[in-house]
Amino acid sequence: MQTSAQNAQNLTSRLANPTRFMSLSATLLPWIGGLAAALIAIGLYLAFFSAPPDYQQGHTVKIMFIHVPSAWLAMGGYLLVAVSSFGLFVFRHPLADVSAKAAVPLGAAFTFLALVTGALWGRPMWGAYWVWDARLTSVLILFFLYLGLMALRSSLDDEALAGKLTAILALVGVVILPIIKFSVDWWNTLHQPASVLRIGGPSIHASILVPLLVMAAGFTFAFIAMHLMAMRNEILRRRVKALTLAEVSRASSSVPAGAKG
């Protein structure tokens, strides 16, 4: 009987073949995308027609239903980049760099959404769009880290070298994740402490917690679907590049020696 670790290893090795990944992801994508759309639709219904106004925040609590999932995915996206980068160095998995590269713009987009929706919540609740609070500042650093990963990769022509250098930066930058998570405990912040992922369970009433978790699940499946799409695009781009080089090489080798400049 196979252990769960063996099963996971078999799945990982089966997915190491990009062609097999393309085939499997094409089958899974419509289901994951459909599930994401359904969960987000249910979440929106619960957010606007079921969840009551918060006793302190009033209707502004509705912003939390999109702010919190965006913030979780900002961090989850970076964790995915870091794990993929680890996979590139340790397991030399053929899809590790593809996964890391595909996750970066998505993580950056959700970090941007977390920052801006947080600002739009902060203005009516705190009286300010922005404060240099430890949580807000550390998430802003995460956003710059994502931009740095994209800039570093695009600044190098050698794709293999770009992948390795980006992976090193991603692994060094992973230190930002515990700083973000525990910033509200380590420092005095205006940002409230954890109220869902905390020891002792969530401190939010079910009428607010359920729409939040449904939206978080919907956003997560949307992220997974977009990540699969981005990975498929990157595999296609690499195939196009390889075939273009093969075509150029074939054309130059078929030119008679005397005709070469």
Partner 1 sequence: MDLGPHAVFIIASYALVAIVMLALVAWLVLDGRRHQRALDALEARGVRRRSHTGEQAR
Catalog residues that contact partner 1 under the rule CB under 8 A.
18-19, 22-23, 26, 48, 53, 58-60, 62-63, 66-67, 70, 105-106, 109, 112-113, 116-117, 120-121, 123-124, 222, 226, 229-230, 232-233, 236-237, 239-240, 242-244, 246-247, 250
Whose CA is closest to 184, among 230, 224, 139, 121?
A: 139
Q: How far is the CB of 15 from partner 1 (least distance, A)?
A: 13
Least CB distance to partner 1 at residue 50 (A): 12
Instruction: Output 62 or 93, the one with its CB closest to partner 1.
Output: 62
Contact by Cβ (8 Å): 231, 85: no
Rounded to a whole number of angstroms, the minimum distance from the CB of residue 195 to partner 1 is 19
Tokens, residue 199: 């020891």
Among 209, 220, 18, which Cα is nearest to 107's? 220
- What is the smallest separation between the CB atom of 232 and partner 1, expressed in angstroms? 6
Q: Which residues have C-beta within 8 Å of that of residue 54, sequence separation ≥ 6?
A: 60, 61, 208
Q: Which residues contact 229 (CB under 8 A, 6 or more apart)?
A: 29
Query: Whole-number minimum distance, CB 225 to partner 1, in Å?
Result: 9
- Whichever of 203 and 244 has its CB closer to partner 1, that residue is 244
Nearer to partner 1, 22 or 152 (CB): 22
Q: Which is nearer to partner 1, 151 or 246 (CB)?
A: 246
Of the two residues 168 and 245, which places its CB atom closer to partner 1 in the complex?
Answer: 245
Cβ–Cβ < 8 Å for 213, 219: no
Strands (E) in the chain, as ranges, are none
- Residues in the chain, total: 261
